[in-house]
Amino acid sequence: MMRLIPLPDRDGRPGNARLWINPGHITSVAPIVTRGGDETGAVFTLAVDLKLEGLPTQRAWLATCHTANETDQKWQQFLDLVAGPDLA
């Protein structure tokens, strides 16, 4: 049975998906973290460079966080989602 996982929509409501992908078609993923700031302090943007079979690499936003630890947690959540219940 095919399993689909969501890639979040940065501009949508929380929980909205921009795209659903079959994790079985992923050939590579790499976290991309950029650090910026605003009036409240540090802001980390977590994105993923995602390569799917037969498609060029694309970058997808995953989360905006306020600490490096939160960024690490969001990345691990994404990896757990990709791995699925059989590998988690």
Rounded to whole angstroms, the Cα distance separating 51 from 36 reads 26
pLDDT tens, residue by residue, 37-85:
777 788 999 999 999 999 999 999 999 999 999 999 999 999 999 998 7
- pLDDT recorded at residue 41: 80
Using DSSP, state whether 80 is helix, strand or coil.
helix
Strand 41-52 versus strand 26-38 pairing type? antiparallel
pTM: 0.84
- pLDDT recorded at residue 14: 74
- pLDDT recorded at residue 86: 65
- pLDDT recorded at residue 50: 95
Would you list the domain boundaries of the chain? 27-87
pLDDT tens, residue by residue, 2-43:
899 999 988 877 778 888 999 999 999 999 999 987 777 889
